[in-house]
Amino acid sequence: MQKSRYFFLIIIFTTNMFLLQGCSKKETGKKATKPDVQVEGKDEQKNIIHGVVYNEGGKPVAGALVLPLPYGGYPIESDVNGKFELMGPSPSEDRYIFSLFARDLKHNMAAAVELDDCNKPVEITLIEGVTLTGRVTNPQGKPLAGVHISPVVYRKNWTAAFGFTVFQPTEINGVYEIKALPVGQDYELPVRPFFKYGGSKVRLGLLEQPGRKEVADIILPPVNQPDEVVELIGKPAPDFPENAQWINSKPLRWKDLKGKVVILDFWAVRCGPCIRDMPRISELHKKQEKNGITVIGIHTAGNKLEDIQKAIKKYDIRHPICIDIPKVKGGKKHGGVMSSEYGINQIPHAFVIDHQGNVVDYGWGGITGVVGKANELVKQHTDQKSNIHLHTPLKPGKTIHLENSVAATPSGE
């Protein structure tokens, strides 16, 4: 399976000296003990953490995202009664939950609660949260759209990212806004590498006041792309594997796409940033296909077909998907054929192919960074066609009728 950097994973760092067990709260001063568990055969039951989310008025909050840190995982939404239930780690695991972070994005309310006991109901009362806003640019000050930002929480013995709950792409003007972060936490803003730029980060420190906080511009440095990628520019795009499996389309070759601008989107179902961009990519395809831009997804080799089909159905993906095939090297599978030919070593990664089938642009971090180039090619092609039409010689005496204008003939009469 191709090695790719999947940044959507919750990042967890723990120190060897951190010896707390179970969900006991360190501040209590009590000796930490593992809660009792029942064992059925070899399956050890995990802790079930449950509770209710309230607002400051004491009313239950529906739709609040509850995330355990630093154990991580996926956030759970509170139900109409404000109740939530999530799976904790088993007592034998070396990862333990110490805090619950709850966020109501709609009303910018949030809270972080320390856990005393995994087996006791947890009551979380939301208060006004912190809203972070700022801008991401390149060294020349040009705003970068589509850059993903996800805050990191610092504690004495661990560090954890919010992951899926806060992945925030910058807008067209490079601006981002991250709502409903709990106060009283030590934060850092890491920015993932994007397009032709490397990553960066800004340490914010302890945020004790709710409300909006303006963050200084985050400047991403340029990075060198792999030679295999750079060398493709201006050359014919490597074709699709003949025996590759396709979804939402018959098998395609570049000869079938001549005359169209194509965006190749390399992705995978296990890539968080890839999945995060799927609704936007699907919308782009629907809007731009009629304008001459075709989006084709290239799914990396090595995943089960049923998993890919589930993702396509879930996110209503309608553009063509080509499933890359494993590259056999020395009798062993090594990455994918297309990924290798395009020099892909991380995803999401996108390429723009022009009307003649040549590679003209590329970028890491999804299609956002290359959409501008695709639109530019379509406009140039449209202008050229218009010029050809306008300069087509007319037969003598032929009259052109223009709306709201006088008639004219080639002789100027």
Q: 190 lies in a domain?
A: yes
d(CA 226, CA 365): 15
239 lies in some domain: yes
Does residue 246 share a domain with residue 214?
no
Q: Which residues contact 87 (CB under 8 A, 6 or more apart)?
A: 46, 47, 48, 49, 73
- Whether residues 79 and 212 share a domain: the answer is yes
Q: Is residue 403 part of a domain?
A: no
Mean of pLDDT values over 79-107: 78
Pairwise CA distance, residues 303 & 8, whole Å:
17
At residue 413, the pLDDT reads: 37
Q: Are the beta carbons of 23 and 98 closer than 8 angstroms?
A: yes
What pLDDT shows up at residue 212? 94
Two tokens, residue 293: 């831009």
pLDDT in tens, 274-284: 887 787 788 88
Nearest to 153 by CA among 124, 189, 180, 178: 189
Which has the minimum average pLDDT: 14-23, 70-79, 242-251? 14-23
Using the 8-state DSSP alphabet, how is residue 255 labeled?
G
Assign residue 139 the CATH number of its domain. Answer: 2.60.40.1120
186 found inside a domain: yes
Q: Is there a cis peptide before residue 241, judged by omega within 30 degrees of 0?
A: no
Q: Within this chain, do residues 327 and 306 fall inside the same structural domain, yes or no?
A: yes
Note the helical H segments in 159-232: 227-230
Three-state DSSP state, 334: strand
292: containing domain: 227-390
C-alpha closest to that of 107 among 169, 164, 146, 53: 53
User: Which pLDDT value is given to residue 143?
Assistant: 85
The domain boundary residue, chosen from 206, 222, 238: 222
41/130 same-domain check: yes
Query: How many CB atoms lie under 10 A from the CB of residue 95?
Result: 14
Mean pLDDT score of the chain: 75
Q: Could you tell me if 124 and 249 lie in one domain?
A: no
pLDDT grade, residue 73 (50/70/90)?
low
Q: Measure the CA–CA gap between 167 and 65, rounded to whole angstroms.
A: 14
- pLDDT for 64 equals 93
User: Would residue 337 count as lying in a domain?
Assistant: yes
Locate all alpha helices (DSSP H) within 73-114, ordered by sequence.
none
Return the higher-pLDDT residue of 369 and 131: 131
Instruction: State how far the Cα of 347 lies from the Cα of 270, in Å rounded to an integer.
Output: 10
Q: Calculate the alpha carbon distances from 128 to 67, 103, 183, 345 in Å.
A: 18, 10, 8, 42
Residue 67 phi/psi, 5-degree rounding, is -130, 130
Question: Mean of the pLDDT values across residues 140-161?
Answer: 78
Total structural domains within the chain: 2
- Asked whether the predicted pLDDT for residue 347 surpasses 60, the reply is yes
Segment 149-172 shows an average pLDDT of 70
Is the same domain home to 197 and 321?
no
pLDDT digits (tens, 9 = 90+) for 218-230: 998 876 655 556 5
Beta bridge partners of 329: 332
Check pLDDT > 50 for residue 120. yes
Question: What is the β-pairing status of strands 211-214 and 130-137?
Answer: parallel
User: DSSP H helical segments within 192-342, as ranges?
Assistant: 227-230, 272-288, 305-314, 337-341
Amino acid at 149: I
pLDDT digits (tens, 9 = 90+) for 8-47: 333 333 332 332 334 543 332 233 333 333 333 444 455 6
Please report, for the domain that includes residue 373, its CATH number.
3.40.30.10
396 falls within a domain = no
Q: Assess whether 70 and 9 both reside in one domain.
A: yes
Q: Are 291 and 382 in contact (CB under 8 A)?
A: no
Instruction: Judge if 214 and 232 occupy the same domain.
Output: no
Cα separation, 66 vs 333, whole angstroms: 40
Domain assignment present for residue 1? The answer is yes
245 lies in the same domain as 141: no
- For 216, the token pair is 């200084």
Angle between helices 368-390 and 272-288 (to 10 degrees): 20
Q: For residue 215, is pLDDT > 90? A: yes
- Of 193, 222, 251, the position where a domain reaches its end is 222
> 195, 222, 249: which is the final residue of a domain?
222
Same domain, 128 and 238: no
- Is residue 52 domain-shared with residue 122, that is, in the same domain? yes
Same domain, 218 and 233: no
In a domain, 195, yes or no: yes
Lowest mean pLDDT among 201-210, 230-239, 288-297, 378-387: 378-387
68 confidence band (pLDDT: 50, 70, 90): confident
Vertex 140, ends 139 and 146: CA angle to 5°? 70
